[in-house]
Amino acid sequence: MSASLVAARRPRRPRYRLRRVIAEAAASALAIVLVIWSVGPIYNMVLIALDAHGDVFSDAIWPPAPTLESFRIVVTEGYWYLENFWRQYGNSLYVGLSTMFLTLLIGSLVSFTVGRMRVRRGWVLTNAALLTYVIPASFLAIPFYRIMQSYGLANNAWSVIAAEVTFATPYAIFIFQQYGKSIPIELDESARIDGATPLQVYLRIYLPLMAPALVAVGTYALLLAWNEYLYQFLLLSSPASMTVPVALAQFLNSDEAPWNYMMATAIIYALPPIAIYYLFRRHMAAGLTMGGVKG
Amino acid sequence: MSVTQQTVAVGPPRTERHGSAGAWFGGIHGTELAWAAAFALPYVAVFLAFVVYPVAYGLWLGSQPALYRELFADPVYLRAVLNTVLFVGIGVNVKMALAFLLSGFFLRKSWWTKGLLVIFILPWATPALPAFLSIHWLLNGQWGLLNNALYMLFDIDGPIWLNSRWLGLGSNIVAYIWKWMPFWTVIFLAGRMAIPQELYEAADVDGDGATGYRRFMHVTCPLLATLYLVCTLLSTIWTLGDFSTVYFVSGGGPAMSTEVLATLGIRDAFVLAQPHLGVAAVMSALPVLIPIVVLLMHKLRTSEVQL
Amino acid sequence: MAMNRMGRRSVLRGSLGLAASGSLSMPHIARAAATTATVWQTQGFVPAEDEAIRKVVADYQKASGNKLELTITPFLALMQKTVSALTTGDVPDVVSMDAPDTLLSQNAWDDKLLDVSDVVETQKSVLSPSALLYSYVYNNATKKRAYYFVPYKMSAIPFHVWGSLVEKAGYKLSDAPKTWDAFWDFFKPMQAKLRAKGMRRVYSLGLQLTTVGPNDGNGVFYGFLIANGGKDIVTPDGKLHTNDPAVRQAAIKSVAYMTQAVKDGYVPPEVLSWSDADDNNAYHEKLIVMDFDGTISTELALYHDKQLYLHEMVTLGLPLGNDGKPIPAQVGAGGGFIPKGAKNVPVAKDFLKYILQPKVQSEYLKNGLGRWVTTVPSVVKDDPWWLDPSDPHRAPYVRETLLGPTIPVYNAYNPAWGRVSAEQLWGQAFAAVVKDGATPEAALDKAFKRAEAIFAQYPISVS
């Protein structure tokens, strides 16, 4: 589309066309490399999932006798680690979407306050947030276990959501702040002059302009919660209240497991977040046009 | 907390406008303050409830000097430090640089680039545990997919990847980049999408000369430099604490030669039941961590409007 | 509330008969205010194990009127959960864990567990001595050993052999030599025979020289060490004996044999980086003829496939040592401990007494398909199920674990051994020999020196 526009503006010159052909060829080559790179390990997962015995070692690069049996087992909850699969799937959506929503809400409110409302010591808050990452999350499990007990949140899905939001929000704040830099503050100011309250500026100007960042960070928060399992084992006690990664982690409990079921579960489970990202992503145009917003 | 009218230097035209805005701000100072407080309140609550105590507790766990003497006495420790430097240093920087470049590629408007993006982010969405197990198995020298493919396509006998320290370490780094590059690409892609189109048009005055290069050097790079730096520093901090890549891909083998501080820490804390020692293992990276945190704090503090 | 109490009383009356048979007679507990206890349990390898513990808990609740809150968690997550609990003090009443080896001895050392000698005492006379030794760990605060663990299951490392592959290679398993090295040697020529018959990727031995396992490589080395006469590398008093020439010789011979088998090509070269599951994967896919790996889970995973389970796979206990004398199998135990700070100690102890009873633990473990063996030798003599000859795996495994000579894993003698194992000193020695061309002597001297330094941090004054 853009190409035809450009073409209309300029006379077609052979040199230009040649360059375009080379660029297209290079892009196609890069695309092939990217597909092989991205799909390689996943292809191996598919090979294992399609094997009737879940053999992980093989001398083939193509499934010798592919069967969809393991996918059937997963969706029919036909194996004991997967007996709560659909319930856990629902939990995944609940925990993942709650984490996503809360992270976006809390993170964007803070970065709006600090970055756009010009609170003089706002940086104290963002700098303090950095403390969250000084000790890796896997080692903060111990104190988290303790505070959730004291708050009476043990065995409650909200303890997991709270933990995920705690780890996701500082990142959201940092990214929103960096991102907000490229949105001219004049937009806010002119709205204020027109009598808008900060809430209206936040809702009508800030959030719409932040859309690409909201989608990116939202996907980050969703996936953080989507694939986490250690905190769930730590904070929850019933498999029915946990999410799908808990089922996946169970496969590692013994040194024997039907790896085909594990891989089939992982493949089925990886698709929704991608669909969610894609759905939001495709509604955004690349490159904002400030003029439209200003006018 | 108070509201200020002007915390940063802005260009002359803006200063002019600021005068009127300042008067407007001053008029409802109290309400403004209330809004700011209300907006910040949810995170302040999260911070007080879930950050202060756990982090203080974690620091306290690793605070005894004796732990560090014990740590340094572990003959694997120094090698793990070197591995950590390589794993984090190479892994993070290569990942970020590639992600940054690829984010430009994914800005292309053709229909198949959008489809490609969906495939490209698959590794990020795939749960880490089965994905890394799959990588561990496909690297198997005798019976793994990679060497099978090398043999069938190119008639090459591949090495036993995980039996060598350097190939093992390299495998961990590649697996790490594979898993996390899509995430950062998406972040940079969002960053690029935030750049107002007008800025590119302004840079495009010369017509079709070296436009791509100029756009990149004069618009994209300066605008995204801070974002890139902040992301790289954050990623460094996270990767210092990442144990799952090494744990599942090479398992620290062969002969503990690819262990990193995080895997040693997990072992000490949860296999040997000595959490103090485990936290000390990751906290021994503080000499690297503190400058990063200070730099990040500085960047976050001064990262207000600079356009 | 009233209804509840009525119900409990009648149940109590009803269970008097049961109580008389065992040692379940603490009626005062039922009257105590807090009768709910929390129990954390390791998830089983097969679903039957989880069903079995649920049934025990249900039976106990019925019999005692107490309530138990059971949480079943996979092994690694339970370790993390338990360490978190013990560190912060928000503990459950009972942790029922399979093979807590280092976690048990380290926390007893740190004075974080409750002395449960009175529970163990109720069955002490009938329990396996190795199960008792496993549970008798040292407290560095009191400078004494005591029972901090109630052992109601045991496991060992048996040999897993593809009988069908042995036959295909033209051998008979009954011809296998009776001493250790010769037994391993017996399988070596099968590799060439099987490859000649088209199985070109097969190897003879699943000899795990890995450091990644994390326990597999250590377990195999200790098997060799004991077979070569090095059993006393750690003694029950918690002392390390690397300066004992017999131990040193045994260790050198073990490393030499194991590494030579790899160099000679009888072991997949990958073993240096095999993960915990990789030997099982290779075994299941018939890529190795035999494997030496803990418990009979390898076979139970194929329990549904009667052809493989009954006719193709064989489980064997240990051969004799290289000196022709019987050697002890090293056993781990599973069972319960009570963290200090538990809110409901009486119920916790009462439950542990209940499950420790020979009949109760036997039923429990039978329901779990026998992956874990009871800790009471007389039980398997009285109940034909345990030594049922129609099951080709259970009987040899039970004989090795319970009826033959055994010793506990060394972690019980001194938590320092946990660090020795976790630092993979032996696995590093293997790699030094295989990859860097070091001599077994030089590689072991390095390992021994480090082991001595670790033990120096864990002095045990009283035995």
Q: What per-residue confidence (pLDDT) applies to A12?
A: 55
Question: What is the average per-residue pLDDT within C429-448?
Answer: 96
Q: Does C436 touch chain B (CB under 8 A)?
A: no
Question: Residue C268: which of B142, B254, B267 has the nearest Cβ?
Answer: B142
- The residue among A20, A186, A110 whose CA lies nearest residue B196 is A186
- The helix (H) or strand (E) run that includes residue A138 is none
Residue C301 counted as domain residue: no
In chain A, what percentage of residues exceed pLDDT 90?
56
Per residue in B192-224, pLDDT tens? 887 777 777 777 665 554 567 777 888 888 888
pLDDT at residue C130 tops 80: yes
Same-domain check for residues C102 and C185: no
Do C338 and C285 belong together in one domain?
no
For A151-195, write each residue's pLDDT tens digit.
Answer: 999 889 999 999 999 999 999 999 998 888 777 888 888 888 888
Measured between CB atoms, which of C201, C418, C457 is closest to B272? Answer: C418
Which backbone phi and psi does A183 adopt, to 5 degrees?
Answer: -100, 115
Judged by CB atoms closer than 8 Å, whether chains meet at C211 and B254 is answered as yes
User: How confident is the model over C226-270, as pLDDT tens digits?
Assistant: 999 999 999 999 999 999 999 999 999 999 999 999 999 999 999
In a domain, C108, yes or no: yes
Q: Are residues C188 and C241 in the same domain?
A: yes
Q: What's the whole-number mean pLDDT along residues C40-44?
A: 94
Q: Does C26 touch chain B (CB under 8 A)?
A: no
Cα–Cα distance between A213 and A175 in angstroms, integer?
A: 8
Chain A contact for B47, CB < 8 A? yes
Same domain, C120 and C184: no
Residue C415 lies in a domain: no
- What 3 state SS string does chain C have? CHHHHHHHHHHHHHCHHHHHHCCCCCHHHHHCCCCEEEEEEECCCCHHHHHHHHHHHHHHHHHHCCEEEEEEECHHHHHHHHHHHHHHCCCCCEEEEECCHHHHHHHHHCCCECCCHHHHHCCHHHCCHHHHHHHEEEECCCCEEEECCEEEEEECCCEEEEHHHHHHCCCCHHHCCCEHHHHHHHHCCHHHHHHHCCCCCCEEEECCCCCCCCCHHHHHHHHHHHHCCCHHHECCCCCECCCCHHHHHHHHHHHHHHHHHHHCCCCCHHHHHCCCCHHHHHHHCCCEEEEECCCCHHHHCCCCCHHHHHHHEEEECCCECCCCCCCCEEEEEEEEECECCCCCHHHHHHHHHHHHCHHHHHHHHHHCCCCCECCCHHHHHHCHHHHCCCCCCHHHHHHHHHHCCEEECHHHCCCHHHHHHHCCHHHHHHHHHHHHCCCHHHHHHHHHHHHHHHHHCCCCCCC
Contact between C107 and B75 using a beta-carbon 8 Å cutoff: no
B225: domain range?
A: 75-301
Number of structural domains, chain B? Answer: 1
Based on the domain organization, do C147 and C164 belong to the same domain?
no
Q: Is the pLDDT of residue C144 over 70?
A: yes
Query: Whose structure tokens read 């781990």?
Result: C332
Within a domain: B163: yes
Asked if residue A166 lies in contact with residue B50, where contact means CB atoms within 8 angstroms, the answer is yes
| Share above pLDDT 90 across residues of chain C, in percent, rounded to a whole number | 84
| Contacting residues of C for A55, CB less than 8 Å apart | 281, 284-285
Same domain? For C133 and C73 the reply is yes
Instruction: Identify the residue with better confidence: A41 or B109.
Output: A41
Quote the pLDDT of residue B116: 93
Nearest to C285 among A55, A250, A256 (CB): A55
Q: In A, which residues are within 8 Å of C45 by CB distance?
A: 253-254, 256
> Are C297 and A257 a contacting pair at CB < 8 A?
no
Q: Is the pLDDT of residue C431 over 90?
A: yes
The predicted pLDDT at position A10 comes to: 52
Residues in chain B closer than 8 A to A251 (CB atoms): 130
Residue C321 lies in a domain: no
Nearest CA-CA distance, residue B262 and chain C, Å: 15
Q: What pLDDT does A289 receive? A: 47
* Burial classification of residue C125, based on how many CB atoms lie within 10 Å of its CB (0-12 exposed, 13-18 middle, 19 or more buried): exposed
Query: Is there a domain that residue C369 lies in?
Result: yes
Mean pLDDT of the region C353-357: 97
Q: Are C70 and C355 in contact (CB under 8 A)?
A: no
Residue with tokens 């403390």: A131
Same domain, C133 and C248: no
The answer to whether residue A139 neighbours chain C at the CB level (below 8 Å) is: no
pLDDT of residue A86 exceeding 90, the answer is yes
A152/B contact by beta carbon, under 8 A: no
Alpha-carbon distance A36 to nearest alpha carbon in chain B (angstroms): 10
Chains A and B: how many Cβ contacts under 8 Å? 355
B257, B165 contact by CB (below 8 A): yes
Q: What pLDDT score was predicted for residue C7?
A: 39
DSSP string, A236-254: ---GGGS-HHHHHHHTTSS
B47 part of a folded domain: no
Q: Measured between CB atoms, does A8 come within 8 Å of chain B?
A: no
CA A284 to chain B, closest CA, distance in angstroms equals 9
Residues C77 and C90 in one domain: yes
CATH number of residue B207's parent domain = 1.10.3720.10
> Chain B: residue nearest C87 by CA?
B275
How far C463 CA lies from chain A's nearest CA (Å)? 33
Nearest CB among C45, C80, C81 relative to A254 is that of: C45
Q: Binning pLDDT at 50, 70 and 90, where does residue B111 land? A: confident
ipTM of the complex: 0.89
The verdict on C200 and C342 lying in the same domain is no
Nearest CB partner across the interface for A57, out of C77, C78, C287:
C287
Q: Is A80 on the interface with C (CB under 8 A)?
A: yes
Q: Which domains does chain A have, with CATH numbers?
A: 2-67 (no CATH), 80-294 (1.10.3720.10)
Q: Is the predicted pLDDT of residue C31 greater than 50, yes or no?
A: no
CATH label of the domain that carries residue C202: 3.40.190.10
In chain C, which residue's Cα lies nearest the Cα of B266?
C80
Between chains, do C281 and A55 touch, taking CB under 8 Å as contact?
yes
Least confident of A115-129, C25-39, C40-54: C25-39
pLDDT in tens, C160-212: 999 999 999 999 999 999 999 999 999 999 999 999 999 989 999 999 999 99
Same domain, C142 and C172: no
Cβ–Cβ under 8 Å, residues A49 and A242: no
Do the chains contact at B256 and C427, CB–CB below 8 Å?
A: yes
Q: What is the pLDDT of residue C327?
A: 97
Supply the pLDDT for residue C462: 66
C339 burial type by CB count under 10 A (0-12 exposed, 13-18 middle, 19+ buried): buried
Average pLDDT of chain A, as a whole number = 87
Q: Does A7 touch chain B (CB under 8 A)?
A: no
Comparing CA positions, the residue from B9, B55, B3 lying closest to residue B279 is B55
Mean pLDDT score, C417-425: 94
Residue A282: pLDDT over 80? no
The average pLDDT across A92-106 equals 97
Residues from chain C contacting residue A56 (CB–CB below 8 Å)? 281
**Whether C160 contacts chain B with CB within 8 A:** no
Q: Cβ–Cβ of C269/B160 closer than 8 Å?
A: yes
Whether B21 shows a pLDDT value over 90: the answer reads no
C364 and C343 inside one domain: yes
H/E element holding A161? helix A157-180
Asked, for residue C304, whether it belongs to a domain, the answer is no
Residue A274 contacts B where some CB pair is shorter than 8 Å? yes
Are A206 and A108 within 8 A, CB to CB? Answer: yes
What residues make up the domain containing C44?
A: 2-156+331-408
Interface B-C: count of C-beta contacts within 8 A: 97
Contact C431 B250 (CB under 8 A): no
Q: Is the pLDDT of residue C289 over 90?
A: yes
Contacts of B283 in chain A (CB under 8 A): 135
Residue C285: per-residue pLDDT: 92
Q: Are residues C280 and C193 in the same domain?
A: yes
Say yes or no for a CB contact (<8 Å) between C80 and A234: yes
Residues of chain A in contact with residue C287, where contact means CB-CB under 8 angstroms, are: 57
Q: Is the confidence at residue C19, as pLDDT, over 80? A: no
At A182 the pLDDT is 75
Chain A interface mutation, best of B1, B95, B145, highest count of A Cβ atoms under 10 Å: B145
- Tell me what pLDDT residue C424 has: 94
Give the residue from chain B lying closest to C453, CA to CA.
B73
The partner residue sitting opposite B254, judged by closest CB among C76, C83, C431, is: C431
Contacts C79 to B, Cβ<8 Å: 270-271, 273
A56-68: pLDDT as tens digits: 888 888 888 899 9
The average pLDDT across B234-242 equals 94
Note whether residue B61 is domain-resident. Answer: no
Residue of B nearest to A199 (CA): B35
Chain B residues whose C-beta is within 8 A of a chain C C-beta are 61, 70, 73-76, 136-137, 140-143, 160, 162-163, 168, 250-257, 267, 269-275
* In a domain? residue B65: no
Mean pLDDT of C324-345: 96
Mean pLDDT of chain C: 91
- What's the alpha-carbon Rg for chain B, to the nearest Å? 24
In what order do the strands lie in the sheet containing C313-316?
Answer: C203-206, C288-292, C159-162, C313-316
Nearest CB to A125: which of B25, B43, B296? B43
How many whole angstroms separate alpha carbon C408 and alpha carbon C329? 8
- CB-closest option in B39, B297, B303 to A181: B303
Tally the domains of chain C: 2
| Least confident range of B214-223, C38-47, C342-351 | B214-223
Report CB contact under 8 Å: C84, A249. Answer: no
To the nearest whole Å, the CA of B302 is away from the closest chain A CA by: 8
Residue labelled with tokens 């499990």? A141
Structure-model confidence comparison of residues B203 and C358, the more confident one? C358
pLDDT at C117: 97
